[in-house]
Structures are given as C-alpha cells and as structure tokens.
A = this chain, B = another copy of it.
Amino acid sequence: MSRYSLGIDYGTSSCRSVLVDLENGDEVAEAVYLYQSGEAGIIVSATDANVARQDPRDYVEGLRLTVSGALSAAATAIEGFLPSEVVSVGFATTGSTPLPVDESGEPLAFNPEFTDRPAAYAWLWKDHTAHAEARAITEAARLLRPEMIDACGGTYSAEWFWAKIWHCLATDPEVFAAAASWVELCDFVAGVITGTSRPDVLKRSVTAAGHKALYSDRWGGLPDTEFLAGLAPELAELRGRLYDRAYPTTDIAGYVTPAWAELTGLEVGIPVAVGHFDAHAAGVAGGVRTGTFVKVMGTSTCDVTVIDETESGVPPIIPGMCGMVSDSMVPGKLSIEAGQSAVGDIFNWFADKLAGRSDISAALSELGILAEALQPGEHGLLALDWFNGNRSVLVDQRLSGTIIGMTLHTEQHHVLKALVEATAFGARRIIQSIEDAGAPLDRIVAAGGLPSHAPWMIQTYADILGREVLTARTTQGSALGAAIVSAVAAGEFASIEAAQDVLVHFSDLEYRPDPAKVEVYDRLYEEFVSVHDAFAANGPLGQVMKTLLDVRDSTLAATA
C-alpha cells in the first residue's frame, strides 16, 4: 500500500492540489482551479491601483474542486489508487492575506449585508492601500518596541496584517466592527476542511503570525494592548479576539470532516497540518536547512534559510532581512527571510514595456539566446535591480532601477543580460549579509518557476555567486512543501530533514561556476557594491532616487 500527502497551494490567481508519493517525492496527480472573481482572481478598484482583494468563495470552491480533481486524476493515473492512501493534507498560501470573519468563522464577505463592501473580502498580500498605516506602525514600533520591528527588517509593510486591519477600521468601520476576528488565508482554509473555523478554536500558523502580525513568544505573542491602543483603541480591543498562541506548521490543525470528505473524496479524519506561507513551504521543498539558502524565484524572489536559535532567544542582527521567525520552516530553528522585490517582473517589464514586444515570452527566449552568448562584461553595462524598491538588504521601497554604461551600440539583449546580472548581484549581496553575520551558507538552491524558464540565467547566477547553484526538480514547490510538512505533522517522518531526505530532489542540470567568468564578475561586483552603496539612503547619492520619486509623486498628485 502506498502513502500520499496532499499539498494545496493558494496562489495569487489560482489554487492547486498536488498529490505527493511519500516513497520518493514524485508528484503523481494534480488539479488546478482558476479563481473566478475579479480580474484573474483579484478584485481591483477603478480609482485606486492599491486595492487587491479576493472573494473567499474562490478559496472554498477551489478547495472542493482541486482536492476532488487531484484524487480523480490519481485514480486515473495510478492503478489501484485508494483515497485511504492519502495520509496527510497541508496548505501553503499567499500572505499576509487576512480576512474578516464572524463568530462562527464564516467570512463577512458571505454575509449578504457586506457583499458589496470590498473591506469585507480577503485582503490579498499585494493590496497596498494601507501604506499610511504601515508607516505609522513602523514609526511607533521604532520608538516604543524596537525589538518587534527588528524582527521584520526595521520596516512594517503595507502588505501586512495590522496595517490592513487598521486601514479597514479607518475606511470601513462597519466592517471592522462586524468582524469577530481576522484570519489569515492559510488558517482559514485549514479551518474550513477540518471544521475548526470558529476563531476561538482555530489554530493559527506561527509562520503567518510571526512574519506579518508581529507575533513572538519573546513578547508574549501578538503586540501588547498598550502598543496597539497607541495606534487605535479598537485594535487593542480586537487583540483579545485574535489569538494568544500560534502553532508550528508541523502541528496538526485538525482532521477532515465528514462533510468535506463527502465533498472531496478524502477519507474522514485525515490529519491536516497547520497552514503554511507559500514561500516558506517552497523553501522546505527546496531543501532548506542550516547552511542551505533557497531562492524561491518568480516575479519577485523570496530567499529563505534557517539558523540555530541563539541561547538568549534574541535573534542575531542580520542587516536587511525581512523576517525572522522561530519554528516557521524547521521546528527548533529560526527562519530567516530575505527577498528581492522584483526579479522575473523586471525581465517581463523589459520585454513588454521597454523593448515593446507583444509576445513577452517569445522575446525573452529570443533575446535570451543572444544574452547567453555574451561574455561577462562584454555589454559594458551595470544595473541595479531596484525596479520595485530594494527589499534586502536595504529594506527601502523608495529606490529605483538603474542602468549604467549604455552606449550607442547597446542592444536589447545586452540590457536583458545586465538586468539578469543585476538580480544575481543583488542575490550575492544578500548572501554576503547573512554570511557576514556568522551564518555560512554551503548550498544555494534556485527554486520557484523562474529557473526552469531560463537555464542561462541560473548559470549566470552561478558565475556571479561563484558557487554551484542547485535547482529544485519540482516546479510546484509550495504545494510540495505543504505536502512534506503535513506528512511530518501526521507522523510519517520524524523531522522535516528526514522528510526532505526522501522527498526533495534536485534537477540533473548542473550549474557550476566558470572560474574565468567568476574572476570578471568579482571585479564587476565591486562596482555593483560601489553603486549600490552610493544610492543607498546614507550614500553620497542617497537623495537622488528619493527626490525623483518625491517629484514624481507630487507631480502626479497635482495633475490627478
């Protein structure tokens, strides 16, 4: 009899269930559901580009259809497949994607009274409406609770839990008042399938809590009421209706209910793990462990590793990390998250907006062939990958993309190569920051969707990092990671590491640095660092990009 774990990944525009064979990590069946609401699953606003909401009906419908779909696919693909062979279920979702719920745990969006109120829907990770609240939280925390803000890189983001909820209070107080609690998407879906939706029984994920809700055992869970009251009394009052404790993702959230067994074809009582964030789950599927640095590369890049907890329990200072959470990826370890705000997005932007190509993917493929043939430095260019700000190591959204070294002979493939190199230099700078803090990295893994699209990019990374780069075999890292972690939660493996040893595989493609290229790139990296540091806030050109953005913003405001 085989054993399978079901990983369910909620992305930005779709969700997907993937069935993983616990003998070998093979992904044996899957089903995808495209969200039906809004534009590609996102409810937007004609008047405010910052709005990005989702309809929780898509989550519930996607759960039913992809789980049943994956099981049907398995029945077709695998001779003698039995639903009882599915021994665990896990979720990995976008985040912070909080939604307001009533006392039963039902989304307010399901209440006819709030159907036409965007605030009652799920606030998708990329919703940026709460930037003013984020700034205020950052300032208050820096002044009053520096330890809290240190853990998330020194700046609280408009994309995160408290900023969004506070913005709901400020802009739709009725929805705020009607919310019995707020739950993260990863907890919501786990609650649905296990019948534990009621906010007072729902187990909250430490990954979601620690990253985005400023949760830590060090200060007794969520931020204290005094701090929250300083932001808004209503937030302090809400704290008691949230949660006191968050759980590692290797804990069991609950068990599949008879109703959901009926809806999906799963057996009743299958254990379901506490929900995960997609990037962290992908980190697990990329083999994250002490000394292993996993880059989950897509439109942006999320970098993860884990280090040992310090004796004091106070995380070490590693400049530029955007989150450090105990137990988030590997129980007993401190997870470290860094990131690059745009990676694949930059290449797509270039092909689409600058090169003006209608078929982006054909353009990148065609230009990629030419770019691959260029020797390091042959194009004479150096770029900064700050087209969407710099998440790590500068933690500064008010920075922008730059290309230096253009001549009248510069061609499109030169620029594409320089942009790829810029993201690799940025990656090297992040690795340098972690290693400088005393956490050596002996294995670099490129995961996510990007590596399989452009092997030459990964070779460029190897040459710029001066290290071998492994690529994850899976292209569904988040789903695979959710399957792995839930298998650990269900007791199928003794630890994350033990599960990874069986279930994580790397591609056969080898990306080893070419010493001659490394030498040139070492020289160019020095120049990258010079320019990087010059345009950083405290550098000699630190005011330039900020002035450009200030002038742009005030011009746009004046003409709006």
Contact = CB atoms under 8 A, between A and B. Distances in A.
Interface string A335-365: 0000000100110010001111100000000
A24 interface: no
B381 A408 contact: no
Nearest to A524: B551
A349 B523 contact: no
A45 interface: no
A244 interface: no
Contacts of A405: 400-402, 545, 548-549, 552
Nearest to A558: B375
A531 interface: yes
B523 A377 contact: no
> Copy number in this complex?
2
A356 B355 contact: yes
A84 interface: no
Given A354-B355, A552-B378, A555-B377, A407 B401 contact: yes
Interface in A487-544: 520, 523-524, 527, 530-531, 534-535, 540-541, 543-544
A290 B460 CA distance: 56
B407 A400 contact: yes
Contact of A410 (B345, B349, B356): B349
A523 B547 contact: yes
Interface in A48-81: none
A410 B531 contact: no
Nearest to A552: B380
Contacts of A400: 380, 404-407
A130 to B, nearest CB: 20
A380 B549 contact: yes
A408 B387 contact: yes
Given A380-B400, A551-B520, A411 B543 contact: no
Interface string A397-426: 000111111111111100100000000000
A432 B345 CA distance: 40
A79 to B, nearest CB: 48
Contact of A412 (B356, B411, B523, B552): B356
Contact of A551 (B380, B403, B541, B559): B380
Contacts of A345: 408
Contacts of A357: 356
Interface of A: 342, 345-346, 349, 353-357, 375-382, 387-388, 400-412, 415, 520, 523-524, 527, 530-531, 534-535, 540-541, 543-545, 547-549, 551-552, 554-556, 558-559
Top 7 A-B pairs ranked by shortest CB distance? Answer: A377-B551, A401-B406, A380-B552, A405-B548, A400-B405, A378-B555, A402-B404
11 contacts: A375-B559, A378-B556, A380-B552, A381-B548, A404-B535, A405-B545, A405-B548, A524-B551, A527-B547, A530-B543, A534-B534
